[in-house]
Amino acid sequence: MVNSSVSKARVWFITGCSSGFGRALAETVLERGETVVLTARNPQQVEDLTARFPARALAVRLDVTKPEEVREAVKEAIAHFGRIDVLVNNAGYGTLGAIEEVSDQAVRRQFETNVFGVLEMLRVVLPHMRQQRSGHILNISSEAAFVVGAGAGIYCSTKFALEGISEALAKEVAPLGIKVIIVEPGSFRTDFVTRSLVVCDTQIEDYQAATGQLRQIVRDVQDMKIKEQGDPNKAALAMIQAVDSEKPPLRLALGEDAINGINTKLESLKAELDAWKEVSVSTKFEEVVEDKTQVATLG
């Protein structure tokens, strides 16, 4: 059910608005009559939107790996519009390479953007949402948080981390009126592969049999021999629908390929869990007696 009474008054703060999902979402939200803080490392790339919607669009420079820019961007947004109702952590990129091939520096850089950048945004925006006792947080994850391919381990690991952060955060902020949505897109026709994917220069021959297929798919997309089926504008509408809902999902998979991939992974996990159940449950002390006492766990 859509809660339309508040939708028009919302202020969205979206990271990574220069292209892809961030750009599509920002434009769609503005066209619906809502307000958007458009952030990009180069604000000139979103000036066309501020020109079209001067009263409801604010362009702000933001590199999420720079804490001082995060603090300044949020400060400017609050000063200009008075509040932030929807935070969309969209800024990010991917690294392609086998685990052994990717340098420590490249791994750290990937986590700085995809994980620590999100954490910084959360820590700066959450005090405002707590004071409001309301808000939505959309963390853009990926089907890759479930379906891991050879050659994408570093990128996927950042999305695994983001999912863990998001799931815990959802439980922490629910009593405060704040809702968290993890968005898990499949393959969409953005410029992610051509603009936001860093291909590792180091290639170890022994891994080519495992990683070669993914590298070829990337080349085919870049050469436009393969076209992704997902429409980023429709993805934007789906995200808005989730925010409008009185009971938004914790996880919002986008795309038939995402649904199929996640379902396949879940079925595989269940089959493996069942196959090894006897071994798994054989690990307790013999003197342990079953009881109904509930024990708190990290899960």
In the chain, where the domains are located: 4-273
Of the candidates 52, 115, 58, which has an alpha carbon nearest to the alpha carbon of residue 84? 58
Q: How far apart are CA 21 and CA 13, in angstroms?
A: 13
**Are the C-beta atoms of 86 and 140 separated by less than 8 Å?**
no
H/E run at residue 29: helix 20-31
Active site (annotated) includes residue 155: yes
Active site (annotated) includes residue 93: no
pTM here?
Answer: 0.90
- Cα angle 49, 183, 43 (rounded to 5 degrees) comes to 25
Question: Which is catalytic among the residues 19, 159, 166, 187?
Answer: 159
**The CATH number fitting domain 4-273, selected from 3.40.50.720, 3.90.1150.10, 1.10.730.10, 3.40.640.10:** 3.40.50.720
**Are the C-beta atoms of 182 and 252 separated by less than 8 Å?**
yes
Tens place of pLDDT for every residue, the chain, 299 residues? 334 444 557 999 999 999 899 999 999 999 999 999 999 999 999 999 999 999 999 999 999 999 999 999 999 999 999 999 999 999 999 999 999 999 999 999 999 999 999 999 999 999 999 999 999 999 999 999 999 999 999 999 999 999 999 999 999 999 999 999 999 999 888 776 677 788 888 999 999 999 888 888 777 767 666 677 889 999 999 999 999 999 999 999 999 999 999 999 999 999 999 999 999 999 999 876 665 556 555 65
Q: How far apart are CA 151 and CA 96, in angstroms?
A: 6
For residue 265, the model assigns a pLDDT of 96
What does DSSP say about strands 135-140 and 251-254: parallel, antiparallel, or unpaired?
Answer: unpaired
Q: How far apart are CA 258 and CA 230, in angstroms?
A: 10
**Count of CB atoms situated within 10 Å of the CB of 131:** 11
Question: Which is catalytic among the residues 18, 141, 142, 187?
Answer: 141
For residue 290, the model assigns a pLDDT of 61
Q: How far apart are CA 184 and CA 253, in angstroms?
A: 5
Q: How far apart are CA 60 and CA 65, in angstroms?
A: 15
Question: Which is catalytic among the residues 18, 155, 166, 187?
Answer: 155
**Are the C-beta atoms of 7 and 32 separated by less than 8 Å?**
yes
Active site (annotated) includes residue 207: no
For residue 6, the model assigns a pLDDT of 44
Radius of gyration of the chain measured on its C-alpha atoms:
21
For residue 217, the model assigns a pLDDT of 78
What does DSSP say about strands 86-89 and 57-61: parallel, antiparallel, or unpaired?
Answer: unpaired
Of the candidates 211, 231, 215, which has an alpha carbon nearest to the alpha carbon of residue 223? 215
Q: How far apart are CA 90 and CA 62, in angstroms?
A: 12
Q: How far apart are CA 104 and CA 166, in angstroms?
A: 25
